[in-house]
Amino acid sequence: MHHFDEIFVMAANRHGGPDALNEKLSKPKSLAELAEMPEDRWLSIITKTIFQAGFNWKVIENKWDGFEIAFDGFDVGRCALMDDEKFDALLQDTSIVRNGTKIATVRDNAAFLLELRNEGGAGQVLGGWPSEDYVGLLAMLAKRGSRLGGASAQYAMRFAGRDSFILSQDVTARLIAEGVVDKPATSKKAMAAVQEAFNTWMDQSGRSMTEISRVLAMSL
């Protein structure tokens, strides 16, 4: 496995040099910022990611104001108590994408966020989960959240601004080239190997997983 500095040079050579590459890298929000992020914003981000999965992202973006209104600003308490009448009304609401299965996730994930109140709150739990065990966070989201397995959870955490990696096609290709995995990581063993590699690169570089993930993607 290459030292991170070597991978950074590979990416920099493809993207106009070190300074130009650094300008393209975004850093995650601070733990304090994440801890203060309201529950409704977590639910909004999670919901948008779920609706974007397998769909045209631009369509969801263009309709998002309608989603915010339809789901009462993603108020967690109100969404968790969504009754059949509200659900049926949403199925007829042309201001959103009327996918019943995904609409149901709003209620389920609101209930999940309410559960996190007893564990310190969504911001503390999701934002404060150690980056060195990010795969543990993803496993928890897959188990306790609704439709938050695989890429959906990864994108939700990235869009929320917490430190994260996304196992995109390009990142996966770099991980395979580095001998970390031999195919897209789906098993518990493969995800542990990915985490170990990111932990090594974080130690070597002092950078966040978010930055490292982007560098890996741009190194090919």
DSSP conformational letter for 28 = P
* pLDDT of the chain, 220 residues: tens digit per residue: 999 999 999 999 999 999 999 999 999 999 999 999 999 999 999 999 999 999 999 999 999 999 999 999 999 999 999 999 999 999 999 999 999 999 999 999 999 999 999 999 999 999 999 999 999 999 999 999 999 998 999 999 999 999 999 999 999 999 999 999 999 999 999 999 999 999 999 999 999 999 999 999 999 9
Is 12 a domain residue? Answer: yes
Is 75 a domain residue? Answer: yes
Q: How far apart are CA 187 and CA 190, in angstroms?
A: 5
CA distances from 18 to 6, 13, 163, 165 (A): 12, 8, 22, 21
Judgement on whether residues 53 and 104 belong to the same structural domain of the protein:
yes
Is 158 a domain residue? Answer: no
pTM: 0.95
Is 152 a domain residue? Answer: no
- Name the region of 93 (left: φ>0; alpha: ψ -120 to 50; beta: rest): beta
- What is the CATH classification number for the domain harbouring 94? 1.10.340.30
Supply φ then ψ for residue 214, to 5 degrees.
-65, -40
Judgement on whether residues 8 and 46 belong to the same structural domain of the protein:
no
